[in-house]
Amino acid sequence: MTELLLAAKSLDVTPPPGHRLDGYAARAGLSTGTADPLKATVIWLSSDNDPGVMWLTLDAIAVGRELTCELAAAAGAAAGIPPSHVVVSASHTHSGPSGWSGEIHPVIPAAREFDLVDPLVGAVGSVQLERRPVTASWRSIEVVGVGTNRHHRNGPHDNTAGILALHSLSGSLEAVLLDFACHPTTYGPENMQYSADWPGAAREALAPAVVGFLQGAAGDVSPRFTRQGRGAPEVTRLGSLLAGRVREALAHPGLELPQSPPAIRRTTLTLPIRDLPTAAEAERLVCVAANHLNGTDDPSGRIAQTRLDGARGQALMAGAALPPTYDLPISAVTMGDVCWINLPVELFAIHGARLQADSTYPVTRVIGYTDGYYGYVVDPPAAEAGTYEALITFFDQPTTNHLLTQTTTFVNT
């Protein structure tokens, strides 16, 4: 009989102060300290004769392809499994260092800082992984009040949290693989301290279980309409709200999953980059966006500011030497009736809903920010309105449809 084995570990990988933070073009200066720790978390499910799948989650804005390969190789070596069995995901916190991945988009120029990269990769590569028998079960629960669609309060948003619960044979909760879709942007560009934001607070509230956090289709979802402040108390409030709902779900029986390890399949999709405006036209759009600023810090003011940020980002793209295509790594992890679709982009909520609806698996979770980063993938209304995300996306609408269609075909094959 196959025995499902778990190794789970969470590592504090917070860098020292004095490095650039990522996530906001408007942020200036270097990090001054730590509000709460940044973690790299390993959840590895396997058996004696099957390498299974290892989830490596990181409190970072993104994991670029180079960092992904380094971390997968280090984690795979620590476990004695092929790197192809390691899935590397970022939480998308906007209060992590830019130096881990370097420049992920021309909108925020950055460089890799190897005095940050080497300790991170070294910590992952030296992690001690002790496997123990567990049982696996699945739950999902609605979570209201953490995030909404950030363009329209009642717009599309998958407000369910997906919960893979891993219990010891004696019944204690050992680890949770938790996914939810919402930008971790409680802290704004004025914050100069490292923070995992609300995913980190949720993780701490669920201790002592090891919690790996997977970010969902959050491209147009944030706490813009739900947050009641921008400091540590609000980070704790939002994280505790999510954790409380997870605990409610865990108090009830879940869907029992097979005792066999999860499986992973991979493919690569080559996508062309959209036609960009000329440098002159891009600068004209910056002037138009600047004229629409209203100077307020309410949601309407934030939307106006982000559109100006997007216009400036598009101008940077127009002047950059971008390649004609990008190769996007796509993967599907399956465990019984549950399928996690992993993509290296920021999908809008409507795209996540489409992938879920078209999947043949009874339970499908759509995860972004995984195994690379290639920016936003926007829906038609955003493209027509010229939102921040639409201005800085690499892909037009036909390419977006191709990505979704090909991903669905891959998952269902």
- Tell me the average confidence (pLDDT) per consecutive run of 10 residues in the chain, 413 residues long: 92 98 92 98 97 98 98 98 98 98 91 97 98 98 97 93 98 98 97 98 98 98 95 98 98 96 98 93 86 75 80 88 96 98 98 98 98 97 91 96 98 97
Nearest to 99 by CA among 222, 218, 194, 219: 194
Where are the alpha helices (H) located in 206-331, listed in sequence order?
232-250, 279-290, 299-319
Q: What is the pLDDT of residue 1?
A: 64
Nearest to 355 by CA among 363, 346, 364: 364
Integer Cα distance of 296 and 294 in angstroms:
6
Judge whether 218 and 182 are in contact, CB under 8 Å. Answer: yes
| Start-to-end C-alpha separation, the chain | 28
Integer Cα distance of 134 and 218 in angstroms:
31
What is the separation of C-alpha 147 from the centre of its chain, rounded to a whole number of angstroms?
15
> Which residues are CB-neighbours of 136 under 8 A, at least 6 positions away?
4, 45, 164, 165, 166, 256, 257, 258, 259, 335
Q: What is the pLDDT of residue 285?
A: 82
CB neighbour burial string for 81-105, b if at least 16 within 10 angstroms, e if fewer: bebebbbbbbbbbbbbbbbbbbebb
Integer Cα distance of 5 and 283 in angstroms:
56
Helices (H) and strands (E) in the chain, counts: 10, 19
CA-based angle 249:251:255, to the nearest 5? Answer: 65
> How many Å is the maximal CA-CA distance in the chain?
68
Integer Cα distance of 319 and 316 in angstroms:
5
Q: What is the pLDDT of residue 114?
A: 96
Q: Which residue has the tokens 């999860």?
A: 262
Nearest to 326 by CA among 269, 370, 383, 367: 269
